[in-house]
């Protein structure tokens, strides 16, 4: 703000409570400086926050590789001998479809019971397919054969959990940033435009939600972008009235060419920087408390 020669220059603090003090003194032959510490309307007031939401579709570009998983199940060993037998862990068995599985633990089989007909001793142990992927999901009974030692038969339960490796597309944080970056300035400007003027210390917060969420498998997602802005404001006419009222402390004269700008905002108190032409030029030193 341009300050002409012979102008009065002062800072004025305005708020809710009332005048607490004002000093006026001459600094240069053709300029007057007034510093005021006063609390008087107009004061700043909070404006209710305003919100604006837009929706846009984001294209998902994230890629993630998912390795194959291995099918698991169990093998039951039936012992027809009248004595206990042991099958070591790591024993490999092949099903009718050619898929091999391996036991994950040692199988200790109790002896058969001599009943009519004889009752086999049996034990079940965990096992997994040797090759990963869906091929290892063998059906129950695919393995049904004599195995390993005398008078032992091995049978399998259903094997499951085998899945082939694949790559999928997901929504990444970069996808969200790329989609929203060009939209945010305009959205913020449009949201601020709905607040009343003049605005003091405007602040905005952006919240972006996506459906489906970031990291989820998808080819695209709907982004909901919400901008919330708030600010303080004041009455321009009240500010001018307050400046005129303060000028009465300068003595008898006329205040013209008044200009002011906001130089500070603290809670509900605003500080103005004021320039004006005062006639007559001569002023006396005065302190008002």
Task: Please tell me whether residues 240 and 217 are part of one structural domain.
Answer: no
The C-alpha torsion from 139 through 141 and 142 to 143, rounded to 10°, is 140
Query: Which whole number is the average pLDDT over 66-78?
Result: 97
Nearest Cα residue to 247 out of 29, 10, 13, 28:
10
Whether pLDDT at 15 is above 60? no
Q: Which domain holds residue 102?
A: 72-156
| Amino acid 26: pLDDT | 31
Question: CB–CB of 223/210 below 8 Å?
Answer: yes
User: What is the spatial distance between Cα 141 and Cα 8, in angstroms, rounded to a whole number?
Assistant: 102
Q: Is 2 domain-assigned?
A: no
- Least confident segment among 43-52, 107-116, 169-178, 271-280: 271-280
Q: Is residue 185 part of a domain?
A: yes
* Co-location of 226 and 262 in the same domain: no
pLDDT, position 2: 52
> What's the pTM value of the predicted model, to 2 decimals?
0.61
Lowest mean pLDDT among 118-122, 206-210, 267-271: 267-271
Is 270 within the bounds of a domain?
yes
Residue 65 has pLDDT above 90, yes or no: yes
Instruction: Out of 156, 179, 211, pick the residue that ends a domain.
Output: 156
* Alpha helices (runs of H) in the chain, residue ranges in sequence order: 173-180, 184-193, 236-246
Please report which confidence band the pLDDT of residue 94 belongs to, taking 50, 70 and 90 as the band edges.
very high
Within a domain: residue 89?
Answer: yes
What pLDDT shows up at residue 32?
A: 40
Please check whether residues 113 and 81 belong to one and the same domain: yes
> 135: which DSSP letter?
G
Q: Calculate the alpha carbon distances from 5 to 27, 194, 276, 278, 282 in Å.
A: 13, 40, 10, 11, 14
Residue with tokens 């030193």: 285
**Are 129 and 249 found together in one domain?**
no
- DSSP bridge pairs for 22: 36, 288
pLDDT at 46 over 60: yes
Confidence band (pLDDT; 50, 70, 90) for 37?
A: very low
Of the residues 216, 231, 246, the one at which a domain ends: 231
Does one domain contain both 268 and 220? Answer: no
Residue 161 domain-assigned (yes or no): no
- What gap in Å lies between CA 68 and CA 58, rounded to an integer? 29
Domain count of the fold of the chain:
3
Percent of the chain at pLDDT above 90? 58
Task: For residue 107, name the pLDDT band (cuts at 50, 70, 90).
Answer: very high
The predicted model gives 227-233 an average pLDDT of 90
Flag whether pLDDT at 36 surpasses 50.
no
Q: Closest Cα partner for 13 from 246, 174, 175, 184?
A: 246
State the pLDDT at residue 193. 94
């Amino acid at each position: 703000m341009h300050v002409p020669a012979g102008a009065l220059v002062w800072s004025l603090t305005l708020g809710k409570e009332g005048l607490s003090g004002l000093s006026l003194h001459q600094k240069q032959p053709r300029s007057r400086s007034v510093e005021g510490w006063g609390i008087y309307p107009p004061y700043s007031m909070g404006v209710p926050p305003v919100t604006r939401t837009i929706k846009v579709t984001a294209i998902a570009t994230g890629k993630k590789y998912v390795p194959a998983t291995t099918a698991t199940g169990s093998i039951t060993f039936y012992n027809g001998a009248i004595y206990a037998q042991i099958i070591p862990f790591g024993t490999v068995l092949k099903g009718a479809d050619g898929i091999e599985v391996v036991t994950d633990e040692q199988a200790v089989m109790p002896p058969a019971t001599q009943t009519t007909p004889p009752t086999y001793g049996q034990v079940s142990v965990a096992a997994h397919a040797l090759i990963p992927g869906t091929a290892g999901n063998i059906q129950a009974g695919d393995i049904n054969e004599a195995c390993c030692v005398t008078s032992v038969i091995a049978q399998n339960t259903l094997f499951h959990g085998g899945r082939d490796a694949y790559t999928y597309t997901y929504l990444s944080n970069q996808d969200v940033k790329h989609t929203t970056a060009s939209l945010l300035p305009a959205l913020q400007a449009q949201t601020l435009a709905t607040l009343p003027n003049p605005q003091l210390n405007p602040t905005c917060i952006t919240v972006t939600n996506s459906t489906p969420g970031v990291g989820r498998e998808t080819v695209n997602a709907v982004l909901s972008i919400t901008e919330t802005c708030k600010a303080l404001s004041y009455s321009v006419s009240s500010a001018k009235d307050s400046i005129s009222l303060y000028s009465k402390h300068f003595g008898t004269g006329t205040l013209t060419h008044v200009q002011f700008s906001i130089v500070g905002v603290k809670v509900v108190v605003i500080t103005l920087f004021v320039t004006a032409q005062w006639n007559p030029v001569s002023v006396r030193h005065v302190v008002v408390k």
